[in-house]
């Protein structure tokens, strides 16, 4: 039985340090921080984004296509204990995710384009990834690296995240490469604030966010980091 996707609202904003400090201060009075965070309320995210021979995910994002998807591998706090291959699906302003757990060995073999490692998988997503790697030349393109601080509210299933210190791995694609030294991907000292929710945002959360004073942005971390790759992002890689 195919699991039905659950789509949620997603809104993104750039905020400077002063805006971040004020919003964070208000949120802390009403919302809980992510249970996976450290003593500072933060955790590290490293993703390896994949794209096909035509850079379809990148081109569709830059063209403003409303219905699109992209593939990535995500791990936390530089650990190989939890690694997920994810497909993020966007339908206008709504998002959904599919994901499947993989091992470090599987990841490293996929980075080496050994998609045969997925032969016999029972995961529909990983079957799709194998097909894309074989027929669309889906390949790892760039590492996206940042620190996340997250707040959650049960009402409306709201999740508010601040992504800080966005960095790119340039042309390195192995997240466990000991020589990986990610460099800053944004010139301006800004954070990316993401607001995700199901049907509504409770009034007390909306008041704390004061969204009327902010302008929604595309703020694609993948697109930002692809600008740093040596090859022209519009060419085959």
> What average pLDDT does the segment 139-155 reach?
95
Q: How confident is the model at residue 233 (pLDDT cuts 50, 70, 90)?
A: very low
User: pLDDT, tens digit, for every residue of 86-121?
Assistant: 999 999 889 999 999 999 999 999 999 999 999 999
Q: Are 98 and 74 in contact (CB under 8 A)?
A: no
- pLDDT > 90? residue 236: no
Run of H or E including 8: strand 8-16
pLDDT value at residue 2: 52
User: pLDDT, tens digit, for every residue of 192-225?
Assistant: 999 999 989 999 999 999 887 888 888 899 999 9
How many whole angstroms separate alpha carbon 156 and alpha carbon 6? 14
- pLDDT > 80? residue 234: no
How many whole angstroms separate alpha carbon 111 and alpha carbon 71? 13
- The whole-chain average pLDDT of the chain stands at 91
Q: Are 106 and 80 in contact (CB under 8 A)?
A: no
Distance between start and end Cα atoms, the chain:
36
CATH number of the structural domain 8-226: 3.20.100.30
How many whole angstroms separate alpha carbon 31 and alpha carbon 204? 10
How many whole angstroms separate alpha carbon 113 and alpha carbon 111? 5
> What average pLDDT does the segment 136-149 reach?
97
Domain range annotation of the chain: 8-226
In this structure, what token pair is assigned to residue 144?
């996206």
- pLDDT > 80? residue 232: no
Q: How confident is the model at residue 230 (pLDDT cuts 50, 70, 90)?
A: low
**CB-based contacts of 155, cutoff 8 Å, min separation 6:** 202, 205
Q: Are 17 and 197 in contact (CB under 8 A)?
A: no
User: pLDDT, tens digit, for every residue of 9-32?
Assistant: 999 999 999 999 999 999 998 899
User: pLDDT, tens digit, for every residue of 37-59?
Assistant: 888 889 999 999 999 999 999 99
């Amino acid at each position: 039985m195919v699991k039905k996707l659950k789509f949620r609202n997603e809104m993104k904003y750039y905020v400077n340090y002063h805006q971040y400090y004020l919003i964070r201060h208000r949120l802390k009075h009403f919302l809980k921080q992510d249970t996976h965070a450290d003593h500072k309320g933060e955790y590290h995210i490293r993703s390896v984004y994949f794209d096909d021979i035509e850079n379809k995910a990148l081109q569709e994002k830059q063209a403003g296509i409303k219905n699109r998807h992209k593939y990535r591998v995500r791990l936390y706090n530089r650990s190989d204990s939890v690694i997920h291959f994810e497909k993020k699906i966007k339908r206008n302003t709504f998002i959904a995710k599919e994901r499947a757990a993989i091992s470090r060995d599987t990841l490293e073999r996929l980075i080496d384009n050994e998609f045969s490692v997925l032969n016999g998988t029972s995961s529909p997503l990983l079957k799709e990834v194998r097909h894309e790697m074989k027929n669309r030349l889906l390949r790892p393109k760039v590492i996206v690296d940042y620190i996340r601080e997250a707040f959650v509210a049960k009402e409306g299933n709201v999740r508010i995240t601040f992504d800080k210190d966005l960095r790119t791995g340039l042309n390195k694609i192995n997240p466990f490469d000991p020589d990986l030294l990610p460099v800053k991907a944004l010139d301006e000292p800004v954070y990316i604030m993401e607001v995700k929710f199901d049907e509504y945002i409770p009034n007390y959360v909306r008041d704390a966010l004061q969204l009327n004073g902010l302008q929604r942005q595309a703020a694609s971390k993948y697109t930002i980091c692809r600008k740093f790759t040596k090859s022209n992002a519009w060419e085959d890689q």
